Amino acid sequence: MVRKSRLILSGLLIASFLTLSGFGFGQVIICKALVRSYENLKPVEVPQEDITPQWMLTLVNTERPLSGELDFPKDTINGYTFDARAIDDLRAMMQAAKDDGINLLICSAYRSIAKQTELFERKIRQYQNAGYSYEDAYNIAKTIVAIPGTSEHHTGLAADIITVDYQVLDEGFAETAAYQWLKENCTQYGFIMRYPKEKQDITGIIYEPWHYRYVGKNVAEKITANDWCLEEYIEHLELEREKNLTGQAIFAENTGE
Ligand SMILES: [Zn+2]
């Protein structure tokens, strides 16, 4: 027990030092070293998901709103801001579609909470001007514009993608060749169609065949293979972690650790 605690403590200290020094990759090495030493101690497999960087799994919805702006590296594609760590995959997807004769168009990507607040307040004013009370205007506005802090566009990992021939954000987009292409190919670039028709009860968002979310290739494949939405995947992950923790506890009991 003492040996393990010391190992964890020194690992954490070095990892913190490396974080402060800006050596992000150092943490990965330390974490891998910790996982390796753990493997000698317990018979629990580390799930693949556990090595997915946390930023790829950021979950934002009406139940898990952000309390402040997220800080992440930004870059732009066709004038739209996106997370710089994921933008190459987005570029590659747009290019691959083009090579297949499909002209995809990004029509929305990163949106700050400040910008969302502006849009939201404008919508409220619009209804107030039409004679509604503030409360009624607010309730109508939230069905049209996401409440600031609850939009996945705040993460910089979501993009609304349409096509030159069909530039309306409605279900009709699902009938286009562009949608078909995205459906067949987005996974291999690390994207998922975030708000499927049959998951509206879980996501709390209407069917949006145009809204794509970056989660990285491993996770995108897993979500697609299991027919999950992001909320279901995160829940699965939490259950797995719980199981592993229980596994560790049982092992510790058996070995007197
Ligand atoms: Zn969207």
pLDDT tens digits, one per residue of 164-217: 999 999 999 999 999 999 999 999 999 999 999 999 999 988 899 999 999 999
Residue 17 confidence (pLDDT): 42
What is the arithmetic mean of pLDDT over 220-236? 97
Handedness of CA 213, 219, 225, 230 (dihedral sign): negative
Is 90 exceeded by the pLDDT of residue 103? yes
- Report CA(160)–ligand 1 centroid distance (Å): 5
SS3 label, residue 143: helix
Mean pLDDT of the chain: 84
Predicted local confidence at residue 1, as pLDDT? 41
The whole-angstrom separation of Cα 220 and Cα 223 is: 5
In this model, does residue 7 exceed pLDDT 50?
no
* Ligand 1 centroid, distance to 4 Cα (angstroms): 46
Whether the predicted pLDDT of 36 surpasses 60: no
CA of 174 to the centre of ligand 1 (A): 15
pLDDT at residue 158, as a whole number? 98
Using CA atoms, how far residue 219 sits from 146, 198, 213, 226, 244, in Å, is: 26, 20, 11, 11, 19
Q: Report the interhelical angle of 230-255 vs 217-226 (nearest 10°).
A: 100
In whole angstroms, give the CA distance from residue 58 to residue 64. Answer: 10
Distance 200 CA to ligand 1 centre (A): 14
- Can you spell out the DSSP letters for 154-210? GGT-EEEEEETTB---SGGGGGSHHHHHHHHHGGGGTEEEEE-GGGHHHH-S--EEE
Q: How far is the CA of 101 from the centre of ligand 1 (A)?
A: 24
Query: From the CA of 136, how far away is ligand 1's center (Å)?
Result: 25
pLDDT, tens digit (0-9, with 9 covering 90-100), for 108-117? 999 999 999 9
Query: So what's the pLDDT on residue 248?
Result: 67
Neighbours of 74 (CB within 10 A): 14
Ligand 1 centroid distance, CA of 39 (Å): 42
Stronger pLDDT, 3 or 135, i.e. the higher one: 135
CA 199 to CA 144: how far, in whole Å? 19
CA of 208 to the centre of ligand 1 (A): 8
Residue 243 pLDDT: 87
Q: Give the chain's domains with CATH numbers.
A: 2-53+238-255 (no CATH), 55-235 (3.30.1380.10)
76-83 average pLDDT score: 97
158 CA distance to ligand 1 centroid (A)?
Answer: 7
pLDDT over 80 at 249, yes or no: no
208 is catalytic: yes
Residue 48, pLDDT score: 54
pTM of the model: 0.76
Task: Check 69, 121, 152, 208 and give the catalytic one.
Answer: 208
